Amino acid sequence: MPVTIVVPQLGESVVEGTVGKWLKKEGEPIAKDEPIVEIITDKINIELPAPAAGTLGKITVPEGTVAQVGQQLGVILLQGESLPAGAQAAPAGPQQSNARPPAPPAPSPAGGAPAREPAPARAGAAVAEAPSGEDQRVSPAVRKLLKEHSLDVSGIRGSGMGGRVTREDVLNHIEAGKVAASAGAGAPAREPAPGAAPGRAPVAPQPLKPVPAAAFAQPGSREEVVQPLSNVRKKIAENMLRSRHSAAHCSTWDEVDMTALVEMRARLKERIKTTYGVNLTYTPFIMKAVVRALREFPILNASMTESEVHYKKYYNIGVAVHREQGLIVPVVHDADRKTLLQLAQEIEDLGGRARADKLTLNDIQGGTFTITNAGMFGATASTPIINYPEVGVLGVHLIQERPVVRDHRIVIRQMMTLVLSFDHRLVDGTPAVQFLHRVKELLEDPESWLLDSI
Amino acid sequence: MTSPIAAYDLGRIPYREALEFQRRAVMARASEACGDAIYFVEHDPVLTIGRAGRAESLRVSERELRARGVDVVSVERGGDITYHGPGQIVAYPIVALSGLPSGLDLHRYLRDLEEVMIRAIATYGLSAARRPPYTGVWVGDQKVAAIGVAVRRWVAFHGFALNVDPDLGHFDWIHPCGIRHLGVASLRTLLGEAPPRRELLDRLRQSFAQVWDRPVTEAPSLSPLPETLHA
């Protein structure tokens, strides 16, 4: 059996790399462990050692192409083997054009900022099964999209090079399928796209098209201002709906006595401000508590596919930031490895750059759990939408003095409502409630655990 | 894994000579002919272009640079363009990734190199930090150290360059690492005076030992650079 050369797992934060130089040519003999191809990530260049001795049978991913972790790059033929006839004729492997096909909206720091793309990179992190047969004609991102919608590539007409099915083709196909499906319900009938398979309705329905303006505009009656939707707004709308349609949202909440934390922060705030120039908000404290609790309840730091749970052993915590242009969720990477002060600095920096439209793609990718603070504007409770494909989001609210009962007496304490929205497909009620309770415990007694992490 | 890492101070050597030496050392390490080592060096002015290198990052023509005796070398490490010159501490850890806390997590390897420098710099009362998404070590908006790494047979080589007291004017030849809007600093500009090289090397060795949780021992100087390396 020929041995495939794949992009290995190179660390949890690495999901793809660019194929640099092929150090061997097709047909050239290679020894086991001899470097055969370079994979370039941002600051590291790795020479992949040959997994077996033989000859380099085929290069399926050319130089300069982005490849995902797990993707096949080429094939080594063992002694006496030759390429199967079909393989030679087949279009070159799971190849992508130079630009990554699921290109997130250009992260132009100057122009429209990217709202969060549903992390196309995740497709790579989930080590894709070895592509075979006709699947090879599509990129990993398209394959993922097909899988998400339980579609078969053979039913879709490809518009890419050599008839390859692109992401656009799949999306159009899904859209056409929906129009066809709704045709029976009195919507304007339209020809289903060629090849639309009526029996294979998408599992997770795509965001529906907004109501046409004609449905609510009353020409000439009352004044309306019509503005085109910004790209950011379109992206937000798409992501919100994708989450709503994909996850089984459920929320649980709890009352937290923040009195001790309010006092602790008051003590530290001035000193941190004068020494480090950082505004110490509650968010870094809450993030610390969340990371601690996530360690104990790893299911809340996971994601799911149709057949797998992906437990993430890293803690990248998104913080929803309100800004004029619209909501965005920058991510504090490896929050578990940062001190309280580092978290405070980073959250402030990300918030500032979010508002200034200076976030990079990396800043908004790779989150594993999200914190959103509606309390900033006075809300005492809310039910946040999950930042899909994450499975949990913690809503933080206004801290206010409320009467509570302690030892049979009514006393005034600094209280806050914490809300956890979770994806009930993956997370049962019990761990969700326990997780939230753990966050509450940690926030109510910060001195017991925070001192070792400041 | 507690086998010690030998730290050599090779002093000032030409870049190309050091590059050839590194390549020999990687192969020696990969074949277990020698153990893990960190080589500290200093180079004559040179520009090195990594695999992510772009022509736009060079602001002066190559011909002009060569006329001034500045070499321009394309190398196998990751990253864009980097300047090396007198007044820098350049470190080349040539280590088997399997024996480090980061294992095969290459991004963590980068973060750990940053951590080594951040800790050593902190001993001078200076608070340096990372600046995601950029790799390297920064004080505010200014970069004090650059990182570029390559991996061959799961042995890391290349490494970092820490600006102790280089001629910062030389950085005008390039957009360091392709980053245009941020500046470059040295420990001298930040501290008012440059720490003595021997002292700083000592603190870097200690930081390496802490971050990698391995003993780092000072090894005798190698001069001239050996053709073959042994345990």
pLDDT in tens, A359-375: 877 888 899 999 999 98
Q: How confident is the model at residue A391 (pLDDT cuts 50, 70, 90)?
A: very high
Q: Residue A291 has what pLDDT?
A: 96
Residue A128 corresponds to which tokens in the numbers above? 């894709």
Work out the mean pLDDT of chain B and round it to a whole number: 89
Q: Tell whether A159 is within 8 A of chain B (Cβ).
A: no
For residues A3 and A431, the model is more confident at A431
CB A447 within 8 Å of CB A260:
yes
Nearest CB to B133; choose among A35, A38, A360: A360
Contact yes or no for B109 and A44 at CB 8 A:
yes
Average pLDDT, chain A: 77
Query: Cα(A414)–Cα(A400) distance, rounded to whole angstroms?
Result: 5
Question: How many CB atoms neighbour CB B156 within 10 A?
Answer: 27
Find chain A residues with C-beta within 8 A of B51's C-beta: 20, 38, 40, 45
Most A-contacting residue of B151, B179, B180 (CB-CB within 10 A), to test interface: B151
Selected residues 301-360 of chain A with any CB under 8 Å from a CB in chain B: 333-334, 342, 345-346, 360
Higher pLDDT, A88 or B134: B134
Most confident of A324-333, A356-365, A409-418: A409-418
- Residue B186: the pLDDT is 95
Q: Which of the residue ranges A18-32, A86-100, B26-40, B52-66 would you say has the lowest mean pLDDT? A: A86-100
Scanning the structure block, which residue is given the tokens 């001993």?
A: B123
pLDDT band at A265 (very low <50, low <70, confident <90, very high): very high
Residues of chain B whose beta carbon is less than 8 angstroms from a beta carbon of chain A are 50-52, 76-79, 102, 104-111, 129, 132-133, 135, 147-154
Q: Is the pLDDT of residue A190 over 50?
A: no
Q: Indicate if the pLDDT at residue A203 is higher than 80.
A: no
Percentage of residues in chain B with pLDDT exceeding 70? Answer: 93
Yes or no, beta carbons of B105 and A12 under 8 Å apart: yes
In this prediction, residues A239-259 reach a mean pLDDT of 95
- State the pLDDT at residue A120: 34
Q: CA A138, A142, A143, A145: dihedral to nearest 10 degrees? A: -160
Mind listing the pLDDT tens digit for each residue in B42-51? 999 999 988 7
pLDDT of residue A262: 95
Kindly tell me the burial class for residue A442, based on how many C-beta atoms sit within 10 Å of its own C-beta (0-12, 13-18, 19 or more). buried
Question: Would the pLDDT of B182 be above 80?
Answer: no
Q: Please report which confidence band the pLDDT of residue B207 belongs to, taking 50, 70 and 90 as the band edges.
A: very high
Q: What is the mean pLDDT of the segment spanning A28-47? A: 84
**Confidence class for position A344, pLDDT limits 50, 70, 90:** very high
The band of A205, judged by pLDDT with boundaries at 50, 70 and 90, is very low
Share of chain A above pLDDT 90, in %: 38
Marked catalytic residue, from A245, A310, A322, A424: A424
* Residue A154 main-chain phi, psi, to 5 deg: -65, -20
Task: Say which of B37, B47, B177, B187 is annotated catalytic.
Answer: B177
Provide the pLDDT for residue A163.
60
Q: Do B147 and A363 touch (CB under 8 A)?
A: no
Q: What is the pLDDT, as a whole number, of residue A351?
A: 93
Q: Is the pLDDT of residue A191 over 50?
A: no
Q: Lowest-confidence range among A411-425, B52-66, B157-171?
A: B52-66
How many C-beta atoms lie closer than 10 Å to residue A172's C-beta? 15
Are residues B151 and A49, on separate chains, in Cβ contact within 8 Å? no
List chain A residues with CB under 8 Å of B52.
40, 42-43
Least confident residue range of A73-82, A413-422, B110-119: A73-82
Residue pair B215/B191 in contact by the 8 Å Cβ criterion: no
Our answer to whether residue B177 is catalytic in this structure is yes
Better pLDDT: B57 or B161: B161
pLDDT tens digits for range A269-289: 998 899 888 999 999 999 999
In percent, the amount of chain A with pLDDT more than 70 equals 69
pLDDT-derived band of residue A118, with 50, 70 and 90 as boundaries?
A: very low
pLDDT of residue A219: 57
pLDDT value, residue A56: 92
pLDDT class for A94, splitting at 50, 70, 90? very low
Name the residue in chain A with its Cα closest to that of B177. A43
Q: How confident is the model at residue A95 (pLDDT cuts 50, 70, 90)?
A: very low
Tokens 């063992």 belong to residue:
A78
Contacts of A340 (CB under 8 A, 6+ apart): A284, A285, A288, A450, A453, A454
Measure in Å the smallest separation between the Cα of B181 and chain A Cα atoms.
Answer: 12
**pLDDT of res. A90:** 37
Picking from A11, A342, A345, the nearest residue to B104 by CB comes out as: A11
CA gap B154, B26 in Å, rounded: 9
Distance CA A258, CA A266 (A): 12
Work out the minimum CA distance from B201 to partner chain A, whole angstroms: 24
* Nearest CA-CA partner of B101 in B18, B211, B191, B4: B211
- Show the CA angle centred on residue B144, arms to residues B143 and B146, nearest 5°: 80
**Residue A172, pLDDT score:** 66
Res A196 pLDDT > 70: no
Percentage helix, strand, coil, to 5, in chain B? 30, 30, 35
Q: What residues contact A438, with CB distance under 8 A and at least 6 apart?
A: A292, A293, A296, A297
Taking only residues 362 to 391 of chain A, the set having a beta carbon closer than 8 angstroms to any beta carbon of chain B reads: 362-363
Closest CA to A436 of A410, A418, A414: A418
Distance of CA A227 to CAs A219, A224, A355, B188, Å?
A: 16, 10, 22, 54
Closest chain B C-alpha to A34 CA, distance in angstroms: 8
- Residue A41 is predicted with a pLDDT of 76
Greater model confidence, A149 or B203: B203
Decide if A49 touches B, using CB distance below 8 A.
yes
Lowest mean pLDDT among A426-435, B49-58, B101-110: B49-58
pLDDT digits (tens, 9 = 90+) for B124-181: 999 999 988 888 999 988 999 999 999 998 899 999 999 999 999 898 888 766 666 6
- The pLDDT of residue B158: 95
Output the pLDDT for position B65. 87
Tally C-beta pairs within 8 A across A and B: 84
Banded model confidence at residue A215, pLDDT cuts 50, 70, 90: low
Q: Which helix (H) or strand (E) holds A256?
A: strand A249-257
Q: Do A46 and B108 lie within an 8 Å CB cutoff?
A: no
